[in-house]
Structure 1
C-alpha cells in the first residue's frame, strides 16, 4: 500500500537527502550539526520502515524497491558533499570511490540476478559494513564542528571510512562470487510464442 507508514518513512528518508545537502550551503558549525541530525533521523527511519513493515505485515514491492534506493541516495549524496567540503580529501577519496562503485555494481548484479530468479542474501559481514559506513559518515558530518568538542572526530571518521571501504571490497567480492555462475551461463530467453506475439497478447 503506497500510503502505509513504512512507505511514508521511506519517502521521508528520500526527502531528507536534499535536506542534508542543503545544510552544506550554509557556513558555520550549526550547519554541520543540522546535517548530522537529519542524517541520524534518516537512519532511524531506515530501521523503523523495515521493522514496521515486517511487524505489521505491510511489506510491498514498492517498499522493497524504494528502501535500498533511499539508502544509496543518502550515502552517495553525503559522500559527495563531504568531498566538496574537503572533509574527505586526498587518499581518502579512494575509500569513498570504492564505496560508491560497489553500491552501483552490486545494485546492477542484484537486478540481473532478480531477473533470473536468483536470490543473494545479505551476509552478516555486509551488515557490519553498512553499520561501520554509517557511523563513519556521521563522524565526518560532524567534522570540524565535532573536532572543537572532541579532538580527533574527523580522523576517526576517516579511519572508519577506510574500514568500511575494505569490508566493501570483501563483501562485494562475495556477491560477485555468488553470481558469477549466472553471469557466465547461457542466456535465458523468453517463451518464443510470447516473444512472437502468439499468446494472444500484444
Structure 2
C-alpha cells in the first residue's frame, strides 16, 4: 500500500464524509451548517486535486483507484442524508435524493458482482459531470441552511438558494439515472446465464 499525496487527499475525503454528519451532532445550527458546508466544499475540491495530481505525477495506484469512488459516494450519500433529515421532507427533495442513493448502491453492487470484469464499468465523462452536479447541488443546499439563519427563512436569497439547489439536484438525479442505465446496459452481457 503506497501513501502518495493523491491517496492521502482521497483518504481525507473519505474521513470528511462522516464528519459532515457529525457536525450536526455536536454543533447547533447555524454553526453546524457552516462547518458542514466548509468541510463538504473542501472535500469536493480534493476530489478534483487527487485525480489531477495522481495523473500529473504518475502516482495512480490501486489503493487510490479503489478509494476514490468510495469517497465520492460516501460524501454524496451522507450529505444527502443530512440534508433530507434536516429538511421539511419535501418530495421535491426526497425524490431526487432517493434516485441518487439508489443508483449509487445499485452501481456499486454491479461493480462488486462483476469483480474482475468491472473494468467494463469504467467511469465515463457523463458520470464525472454527474458527480460534479451532485456536489454543487449539495453545497448550494448546505448554503441555504446557512442563509436561513442569517438572512431569515423568508428572505429572497434563501428562497433562491433553495430553488437553485433543488434544480441542480434534479439535474444531478437525471444524470445519475442516465449513467446508472448506461452501466446496467454495459453489464448485461456479463449477467446472462
The TM-score normalised by the length of structure 2 is 0.87
**3-state SS in 1 of match to 2:141:** helix
Please tell me whether the aligned partners of residues 146 and 154 of structure 1 are also in contact (alpha carbons under 8 angstroms): no
Q: After superposition, what is the alpha-carbon deviation per residue over 1:106-130, rounded to whole angstroms, capped at 9, x for unaligned?
A: 1122233342364233333222222
The corresponding residue for 1:3 is 3
The corresponding residue for 2:42 is 41
The corresponding residue for 1:129 is 130
Please tell me whether the aligned partners of residues 88 and 158 of structure 1 are also in contact (alpha carbons under 8 angstroms): no
Please tell me whether the aligned partners of residues 144 and 162 of structure 2 are also in contact (alpha carbons under 8 angstroms): yes
- Unpaired runs of at least 5, structure 1: 187-202
Please tell me whether the aligned partners of residues 112 and 118 of structure 2 are also in contact (alpha carbons under 8 angstroms): no
The corresponding residue for 2:23 is 23
Is residue 2:163 matched to residue 1:163?
A: no
**3-state SS in 1 of match to 2:60:** coil
Shift of 1:142: 1.4
* Structure number with bigger Rg: 1
**3-state SS in 2 of match to 1:163:** helix
Shift of 1:87: 5.8
Shift of 1:177: 1.0
More helix by share: 2
Moved over 3 A (4+): none
The corresponding residue for 1:104 is 105
Matches of 1:13 and 1:7 in 2, distance apart? Answer: 10
Matches of 1:118 and 1:66 in 2, distance apart? Answer: 15
Please tell me whether the aligned partners of residues 82 and 88 of structure 1 are also in contact (alpha carbons under 8 angstroms): no
Please tell me whether the aligned partners of residues 133 and 161 of structure 1 are also in contact (alpha carbons under 8 angstroms): yes
Q: After superposition, what is the alpha-carbon deviation per residue over 1:87-140, rounded to whole angstroms, capped at 9, x for unaligned?
A: 653342121111011011111222333423642333332222221111110011
The number of aligned residues is 185
Matches of 1:117 and 1:13 in 2, distance apart? Answer: 24
Please tell me whether the aligned partners of residues 87 and 140 of structure 1 are also in contact (alpha carbons under 8 angstroms): no
The TM-score normalised by the length of structure 1 is 0.83
- Unpaired runs of at least 5, structure 2: none
RMSD: 1.9
